[in-house]
């Protein structure tokens, strides 16, 4: 298992290096991979693609947990890593205007759209106790 993971990591690193374009000088957010990079990585190696998406999801979820923040997506029980990857790639390809944005951010946005959290039901108004008439005491 360790050898297989190491091989995937080496393949992923080599593929990212091969498909990464020169960084832009006008980046708003520091990044190592854009949506374009991730798309190229996914075309080159499905294992590396899944590893990137799962790593992005895990890192984001851990950061949100440490900071006490809620996740903008709610993954259903039983969702697979392949399904997360498919949702991410579908979103990246449906929004070509975002292709040069940070890949991890695009993964989070894709999952937010694919797996939205159900809004909490508004609190029900609590019935107010009605004043009870007090019995009259005769003296």
Structural domain includes residue 124: no
- Residue 118 is predicted with a pLDDT of 81
pLDDT at 46: 96
The whole-number pLDDT of residue 119 equals 67
User: Residue 26's pLDDT is what?
Assistant: 53
In-domain check, residue 24: no
Burial class (CB in 10 A: 0-12, 13-18, 19+), 96: exposed
Position 83 in a domain: yes
Domain range enclosing 53: 33-114
Give domain status of residue 52, yes or no. yes
> Cβ(103)–Cβ(37) under 8 Å?
yes
- Residue at 119 is within a domain: no
Which pLDDT value is given to residue 14?
41
Asked if the structure places residue 130 within a domain, the reply is no
| Number of domains making up the chain | 1
Distance of CA 9 to the CA centre of its chain: 21
- Determine the 3-state secondary structure of 129 from DSSP: coil
Residue 74 belongs to a domain? yes
Digit-by-digit pLDDT tens for the chain (139 residues) are: 444 443 444 344 443 444 444 444 454 556 789 999 999 999 999 999 999 999 999 999 999 999 999 999 999 999 999 999 999 999 999 999 999 999 999 999 999 999 999 865 556 666 666 666 666 766 6
Mapping DSSP to helix (H, G, I), strand (E, B) and coil, where does residue 56 land?
helix
Residue 19 lies in a domain: no
Residue 126 confidence (pLDDT): 60
């Amino acid at each position: 298992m360790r050898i297989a993971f190491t091989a995937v990591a080496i393949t992923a690193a080599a593929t990212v290096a091969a498909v990464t374009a020169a960084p832009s000088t006008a980046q708003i957010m520091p990044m190592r991979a854009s949506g374009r990079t991730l798309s190229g990585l996914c075309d080159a190696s499905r294992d590396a693609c899944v590893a990137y998406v799962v790593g992005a999801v895990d890192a984001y979820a851990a950061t949100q947990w440490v900071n006490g923040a809620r996740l903008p997506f709610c993954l259903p029980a039983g969702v697979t890593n392949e399904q997360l990857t498919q949702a991410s790639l579908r979103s990246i390809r449906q929004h070509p205007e975002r292709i040069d944005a940070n890949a991890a951010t695009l993964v989070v946005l894709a999952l937010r759209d694919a797996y939205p959290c159900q809004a909490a039901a508004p609190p029900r108004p609590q019935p107010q106790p009605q004043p009870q008439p007090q019995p009259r005491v005769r003296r």
